[in-house]
Structure 1
Amino acid sequence: MDSGEIKKGISNITVEIVEYLQNSVVIKTILRKSTGNISVMSFDNGEGLTERTTPFDTFVQVVRG
């Protein structure tokens, strides 16, 4: 899908949506709307999110680690 959005109405496994790269943070936005975005992220050991202010709520789900 060119837009990066996932197909609607089917089950998706989040760990299969985004690649893991060594020494990196990988972010894939799967839904982009004016009311907010949904992104899937992978982090290598020692990597993390930087603090920032956004107009939307942030939800974090740790899948592994």
Structure 2
Amino acid sequence: MTNIKLQVNGMSCRHCVVSVEGALKDIGASGKVDLENGTVEVTYDENRITTEQIKAAIEEQGYDVV
């Protein structure tokens, strides 16, 4: 398993947490949102999921991965 921390702009509330964590779960990853720091820690199997897929899943929810 691989862990990455992404900086994500636009997250500000509980709905944001649910949206991002749910989108990651849907692609087979797990994520933990830190609203205070604007980050998402993601754990995933690098043999099944790419970082581009992770970023796309978050961006599809309306947030910007920087």
Tell me the TM-score normalised to structure 1 length: 0.31
Tell me the TM-score normalised to structure 2 length: 0.31
Higher helix share: 2
